[in-house]
């Protein structure tokens, strides 16, 4: 992270957790980030490009309706349901203690307001339009994914609960609300976990015909499934068990796959040939399982850092050094973000950065709209926004431009 510099920082009035940060991916401009704290405060982080090429970070508190006084925010997630416009849907799980024995738990889903016009789709307007789903369990990880259909993929919510189950919440268009469905019908890989799922990750490939699902549980269980998404059948299952809770799991291709422009979307997809890896983080180890579609869980690599006792709380997959290969970022309780890169087939720690408190969440997304991602790190006390050094970006751009010109001349 030598070429990463500080862009902005702001404190949190109360701490969040590993589920308290999510990004809003825009189709028309810069992305945004939502940060939630335990005591009801939710912040929107965005950046504006000024006329003098300077960047102005903007942090503002959003007032979401139906989060009562005394409620605690457990998790937050969001997605854009349109490929052409910004139609954000935001999910927030909350808990409220009414007495020593009575707890209310809800999934609040915020969508665009009624009517046309951009003002009805602003984040402020979305925060005022809430649909509530009462929960009978204490929520943990809130995650969105898709159910493939022949016409259009349906986006659904998955929630892990303290009842050792994963629940699916789907939109009911007839009632204009949301309701829970039987998860076995759509995601059989979540059957009979018998433990609290602390983290879920799902990766679709082969044009949404197949998917890989990985689940990390509180008891140390890790379940990996290769699923036929059309027949809704499990082709292969792998199970591991560790001595410590699994704080996060990630599925990622070794090569950074960039989404094709709309004009090339009908060309064959590259992700069919991608070698998929799985990252598993426990309290004591971080392990990468390489090329799981071909080798299953046979090829595993333990990530070694200078601190053998580092406790990993969160992780992020990002091409942080812009070499077209994905790196692994680990956030630790020891206040460090560790960066691991694959050099000639060997995973090595290449850099690290110290922060002010234990790292709860990491996000890598384009907040400035210039095509270069920023790094957002949420700690127990604050949120840090970091950006790539502009001089280094310029060097990379000039080098790649020269390669394009040279290749063009060779083909002439």
pLDDT, tens digit, for every residue of 362-412? 999 999 998 899 999 999 999 999 999 988 888 988 998 898 898 888 887
Question: Which pLDDT tens digit goes with each residue over 227-257?
Answer: 999 999 999 999 999 999 999 999 999 988 7
Residue 26 or 2, more confident:
26
Across the range 31-41, mean pLDDT stands at 94
Burial of 102 by CB count in 10 Å (0-12 exposed, 13-18 middle, 19+ buried)? exposed
Q: Tell me, what's the pLDDT at 268?
A: 41
Average pLDDT over residues 277-288: 94
- pLDDT, mean of residues 273-293: 92
Cα separations (Å) of 165 from 77, 88, 369?
A: 19, 27, 39
Q: Which of 67-76, 172-181, 377-386 has the lowest mean pLDDT?
A: 172-181
Q: Measured in whole angstroms, how far is the alpha carbon of residue 91 from the centre of its chain?
A: 13
User: Where residue 261 falls among pLDDT bands split at 50, 70, 90?
Assistant: very low
99 or 103, higher pLDDT: 103
Q: Measured between alpha carbons, how far is 107 from 144 in angstroms, rounded to an integer?
A: 13
DSSP annotation string for 275-325: PEEEEEEESS-EEEE--HHHHTT--EEE---S-TT--EEEEEEE-TT-SSB
Q: What is the pLDDT, as a whole number, of residue 180?
A: 95
Buried b (16+ CB within 10 A) or exposed e, 349-384: bbbbbebeebbbbbbbbbbbbbeebbbbbbbbebbb
The alpha carbon of 390 is separated from its chain's Cα centroid by a whole number of angstroms, namely 26
Q: CB count, 10 Å around CB of 222?
A: 22
Helix (H, G, I), strand (E, B) or coil at 171: strand
The mean pLDDT value of the chain amounts to: 91
The yes-or-no verdict on residue 134 having pLDDT over 70 is yes
pLDDT of 116 over the 60 cut: no
How far apart CA 391 and CA 366 sit, in angstroms, is 18
267 has a pLDDT exceeding 60: no
What is the rounded distance in angstroms from the CA atom of residue 191 to the CA atom of residue 184? 7
pTM: predicted TM-score of the whole model, two decimal places: 0.92
Task: Say what the pLDDT of residue 173 is.
Answer: 80
Per-residue confidence (pLDDT) for residue 120, from 0 to 100: 55
Band of pLDDT at residue 117, cut at 50, 70 and 90: low
Closest CA to 363 of 138, 39, 76: 76
CA–CA gap between residue 232 and residue 35 (Å, rounded): 35
Please give the structure tokens belonging to residue 101: 């024995």
In this structure, of 120-129, 184-193, 275-284, the range with the lowest mean pLDDT score is: 120-129
Is it the case that residue 264 has pLDDT exceeding 50? no
| Predicted pLDDT at 410 | 85
Among 270-274, 334-338, 359-363, the range scoring the smallest mean pLDDT is 270-274
Look at the chain and count its residues. Answer: 412
Q: In this structure, what is the dihedral angle of CA atoms 368, 370, 375, 379, given to the nearest 10 degrees? A: 0
Q: How confident is the model at residue 2 (pLDDT cuts 50, 70, 90)?
A: confident
Burial of 78 (0-12, 13-18, 19+ CB in 10 A): buried
> Given this model, what pLDDT does residue 339 score?
96
Task: Provide the pLDDT confidence category of residue 99 given band limits of 50, 70 and 90.
Answer: confident
| Inter-CA distances, 45 with 30, 56, 143, 265, 328, Å | 11, 11, 20, 31, 24
pLDDT at residue 49, as a whole number:
84
């Amino acid at each position: 992270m030598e070429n990463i510099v500080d862009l902005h920082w702001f404190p949190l009035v109360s701490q969040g957790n590993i589920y308290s940060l999510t990004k809003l991916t825009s189709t028309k401009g810069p992305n945004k980030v939502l940060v939630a704290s335990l005591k009801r405060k939710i912040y929107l982080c965005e950046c504006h490009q000024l006329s003098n090429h300077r960047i102005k970070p903007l942090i503002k508190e959003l007032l979401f309706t139906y989060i009562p006084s005394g409620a605690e925010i457990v998790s937050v997630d969001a997605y854009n349901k349109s490929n052409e416009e910004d139609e954000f849907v935001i999910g927030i799980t909350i808990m409220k203690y009414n007495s020593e024995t009575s707890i209310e738990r809800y999934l609040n889903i915020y969508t665009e307001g009624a009517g046309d016009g951009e003002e009805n789709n602003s984040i402020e307007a979305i925060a005022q339009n809430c649909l509530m789903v009462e929960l009978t369990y204490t929520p943990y990880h809130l995650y969105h994914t898709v159910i493939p259909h022949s016409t259009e993929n349906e986006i659904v919510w998955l929630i892990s609960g303290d009842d050792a189950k994963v629940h699916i919440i789907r939109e009911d268009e007839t009632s204009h609300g949301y309701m829970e469905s039987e998860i076995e019908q759509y995601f059989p890989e979540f059957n009979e976990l018998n433990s609290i799922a602390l983290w879920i990750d799902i990766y679709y490939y082969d044009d949404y015909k197949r998917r890989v699902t990985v689940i990390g549980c509180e008891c140390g269980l890790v379940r990996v499934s290769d699923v036929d998404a059309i027949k809704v059948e499990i082709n292969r299952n792998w199970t591991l068990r560790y001595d410590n809770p699994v704080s996060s799991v990630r599925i990622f291709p070794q090569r950074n796959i960039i989404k094709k422009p709309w004009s090339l979307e009908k060309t064959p997809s590259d992700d069919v040939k991608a070698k998929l890896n799985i990252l598993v983080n426990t309290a004591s180890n971080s392990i990468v399982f390489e090329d799981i579609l071909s080798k299953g869980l046979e090829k595993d690599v333990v990530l070694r850092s200078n601190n053998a006792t580092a406790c990993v709380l969160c992780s992020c997959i990002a091409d942080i050094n812009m070499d077209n290969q994905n790196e692994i970022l680990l956030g630790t309780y020891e206040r460090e973000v560790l960066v691991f890169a694959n050099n000639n087939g060997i995973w090595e720690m290449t850099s690290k950065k110290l922060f002010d408190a234990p790292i709860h969440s990491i996000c890598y997304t384009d907040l400035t709209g210039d095509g270069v991602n920023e790094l957002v790190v949420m700690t127990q006390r604050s949120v840090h926004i970091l950006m790539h050094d502009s001089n280094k970006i310029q060097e990379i751009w000039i080098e790649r431009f020269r390669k394009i010109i040279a290749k063009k001349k060779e083909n002439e």
